[in-house]
Amino acid sequence: MNTILIVEDEPKLASLLSDYLQASGYATHTIHNGLEALPAIHEHRPDLVLLDLMLPGKDGLDICRELRRESDLPVIMLTARVEEIDRLLGLELGADDYICKPFSPREVVARVKTILRRVQRAQVDATPAETRASSALVIRPDRFEALLDQQPLNLTPVEFRLLQTLAESPGRIFSRERLLDHLYDDHRVVTDRTVDSHIKNLRRKLNAIRPEAEVIQSIYGVGYKLDL
């Protein structure tokens, strides 16, 4: 569940936005003073901030400017000041979008969904230079290299993608269907038992380095997880 921080000094409007966002499946936190914005961001770690421009204590432009020094957290500016300079300034400071008051709460929800989808797609498409499931397992996609206890695993492309997927979320249980989505570039149609075969081969290579360990665990009736 994504979390939205609402920074808005009009309590009724803030409550209305919160109700609409919660009805759409988001968790929300609301504050009314600009001085509380950055501490609230650090405390709640939201996925997006709805930030009013005119706030008591500290205005939205100053908050956005300070936030951009430390984070790329998505920000939608809310403003009743429709002058073009304010719109441009808000975006130049790093706001992802702006909405002018008065607005429909449904429009705000739609903008939130659009920006979060864009952020999530960018995260999926980004290829990390290195993945570390722990200090013992290192995966370097740009070199097509996987090391366990500093020893190379010599994986096939499918085994490499499988291990990388598991390593990006250690301890998380992946269904066979979910793992299949990551195995083949050409999205060929295969059965979910194909995963079992690749897991068997991958385990054999992991066990050659750690004979006593069950690095990839089977969760009966559910799928597999990486345990290091």
Alpha-carbon dihedral angle through residues 78, 80, 82, 83, given to the nearest 10 degrees: -100
Strand ranges in the chain using DSSP code E only, listed in sequence order: 3-7, 27-31, 48-52, 75-79, 97-100, 131-132, 137-140, 145-148, 151-152, 216-219, 223-226
Token code pair at residue 184? 């083949």
DSSP assigned state of 34: G
What is the distance between the alpha carbons of residues 4 and 74, in angstroms, rounded to a whole number? 10
Cβ neighbour number for residue 34 with a 10 Å cutoff: 22
pLDDT interval class at 188 (50, 70, 90): very low
What are the tens digits of pLDDT across the range 51-84?
A: 999 999 999 989 998 998 888 889 999 988 766 5
128-179 per-position pLDDT tens digit: 566 666 678 999 887 889 999 999 998 888 888 899 999 988 889 998 888 8
CA distances in angstroms from 31 to 7, 8, 197, 218, listed in the order given: 5, 6, 52, 45
Name residue 225's beta-bridge partners. Answer: 217
Residue 187's pLDDT is 47
User: Quick one: how many helices (H) and strands (E) in the chain?
Assistant: 8, 11
Total-model pTM:
0.56
CB distance 192 to 203 below 8 Å: no
Of residues 193 and 159, more confidence is placed in 159
- To the nearest whole number, what is the mean pLDDT of the chain? 85
